[in-house]
Amino acid sequence: MPITPKLEPNPLSEPGVTYEKVQALGQGSFGFVQLARNQAGELAAIKFLKRGAINKYTEAEILNHSLLRHPHVIQFKEVFLSSEYICIAMEYATGGSLFHYVQKQGRLKEAVARWFFQQLIIGADYCHKRGVANRDIKLENTLLQVVKGLPLPLLKICDFGYSKADSMSVAKSKVGTLTYMAPEVLVNRDGKYDGKVADIWSCGVMLYVMLYGRYPFDTPPGQNVPKAKEILQMLDKMVGMRYTIPEGVEVSTEGRDLLQLDARGGVWKQHAL
């Protein structure tokens, strides 16, 4: 007997809601996202989170994201409630994620990687100057906006679910995505770390992946290593900040220099930017 797929709820159909569902965009452990149109005909991506599952990270996401307004940050529009969900309306990015862009290309030409990386650093710097550390910067959390007349899409940082503001307590939680996580977050010996510096580390990992098509601390291709051992080796290399630059990939001296560790504190030299 065939299994009937579970239908996605549509909170936008409730009375009083000023958005109309266009299509589903995705779902995850956090909830689900729909593309919607408001009464003025403007599109928005709306994230739906169960009201009973709201925690400190949800509150931080709303508060911190609402502080930010910049060309390289997905615009926070509004938050509203349905009977069962808290609904966060944001700018809709038409070009998908940078992760899928890089996945499709394999790796990016240096000029293209530079285009995206410059925007990433500008966006991250803006967030930091506004007192917000994202703490989960990665390819999957950077979206692309196609703009008529531009040769390449604009990059926009999204997802502030793990963000931390200066006005809140000092960053202590080990949050984020493992392959992008800074060594000080992994070790976290004294119970606190600088979330902004951790963001810069994640930006460096993104640059490496864009240029070389693989993660800096992964096991090199061709080595048959059991998964558990591979993870332990990766963690050891991350904490020790040991990585290699693949041979045979043409990258300028300036590009390679950005991926050198700063002797002042073990973060990529881009931090000096």
The length of the chain, given as a count of residues: 273
- 21 labeled part of a ligand binding site: no
For residue 84, which amino acid is it? E
Q: Which of 136, 159, 190, 236 is catalytic?
A: 136
Angle between helix 195-212 and helix 110-129 axes, rounded to 10 deg:
170
Instruction: Give the contacts of 102 (CB within 8 A, at least 6 positions apart).
Output: 108, 139, 209, 210, 213
Q: DSSP letter at 263?
A: T
Q: DSSP letter at 86?
A: E
Q: Is 136 one of the annotated active-site residues of the chain?
A: yes
Radius of gyration of the chain (CA): 20
Identify which of 114, 167, 170, 163 has the alpha carbon closest to the alpha carbon of residue 141.
Answer: 163
Annotated binding site for ATP: 47
Q: What are the catalytic residues?
A: 136
Annotated binding site: 47
